[in-house]
Structure 1
């Protein structure tokens, strides 16, 4: 997707190469990262830090995730073109942009109205048009279910039951699971109407997933 000035994608391309060197193997994920100006998703005062592989603060006391974490979660989803994807926690909108670049149908929920509005404006300015919702991520989007893939970008202590129900049989959910101080990146696969298979992929630190809206 062609981006508009003043964003220079040389830094995004360099970031993608760094993530490849750190172990990201999915070429489609790396290509998506290389096409997105991360500085568009952070405050102008932090623009010179936008391409460092580190999280940065955004509005409402939240963060834009470390690029490696964004890439790793996306890689673990094992996306296929045309997948219907539910993202819980729009945040800055950067992860939603990555999903859009991957050629999937994106539905994204944000509990903070301020973040929802800012992400919507940023994404549309860059030419991305996922379906965004201001709502409670724990509720999901039952009217749009089932989803092929679900991505959670904040940490619940247990897998939200309503989100498990909204995952199609054969689908995958990727989320950081655990308490406030440490979580494990977790993949939940729905193998039948009643059975789920869980695997873990290392320790991470995310903001906690909260109920309700603000």
Structure 2
């Protein structure tokens, strides 16, 4: 697991590209510069790791495009020590970005194969989420609620009520909503019963899987 000056140079170029595409949050860009994305990919993709593209990972899932990771992270407006629930650990790259930004990350993955790979990989890279679990993202992690923010990294046909309930007042829930194509949606919790909704254009995600058992 090597991280070389060449990789660092490619990361700097990637951060510059994301800035040109409209990412302005310095903490997000710093995290992109620090995290060795090539180590989250199958070695056959290593040469392409710092292109702004999504790639396949285990269990028929994908590692999101860096712009998408940066865009969602920027929407969350992460502050140090923020308690964040991530639905869909996936490769662990988004988890790593949030941890590097100083957040306390609680993350949940539906695919057992991915859960096993990622729970071993993150500590090897010195990235330690507060909690990583295998389970149903639609249910969230009520035992650790409430959260300052919640990020969903898969396309959802609707906003799971359990996740809305686990959000702090003033907190943000960022979720790609839709079946074929998704609209990046942010809910801001105004009080116990009211949420303000904002939409940020079209993205493409793998579907959020529900435990039907």
TM norm structure 2: 0.96
Query: How far is 1:80 from its partner?
Result: 1.2
Task: Work out the CA distance in 2 between the residues paired with 1:5 and 1:64.
Answer: 19
Following TM superposition, where does structure 1 have runs of at least 4 consecutive aligned residues deviating by more than 6 angstroms? none
TM norm structure 1: 0.95
The superposition leaves residues 150-178 of structure 1 with CA deviations (integer Å, 9 ceiling, x where unpaired) of 00000111110000000011100101011
Task: Work out the CA distance in 1 between the residues paired with 2:147 and 2:10.
Answer: 33
Query: How far is 1:213 from its partner?
Result: 8.3
Q: Does 1:209 align with 2:208?
A: yes
Query: How far is 1:6 from its partner?
Result: 3.6
Q: Does 1:165 align with 2:165?
A: yes
Task: Work out the CA distance in 1 between the residues paired with 2:25 and 2:171.
Answer: 19
Gaps in structure 2 of 5+ consecutive residues: none
Which residue is 1:15 aligned to? 14
User: RMSD in angstroms over aligned alpha carbons?
Assistant: 1.3
Which residue is 2:48 aligned to? 49
Gaps in structure 1 of 5+ consecutive residues: none
- Classify 1:61/1:92 alpha carbon distance in 2 versus 1 (closer, same or farther; 3 Å): same
Q: What are the equivalent positions in structure 2 for 1:144-163 lying under 5 Å apart?
A: 144-163=144-163
Task: Work out the CA distance in 2 between the residues paired with 1:140 and 1:213.
Answer: 15
The superposition leaves residues 31-55 of structure 1 with CA deviations (integer Å, 9 ceiling, x where unpaired) of 0000001000000011111111010
Aligned residue pairs, count: 210
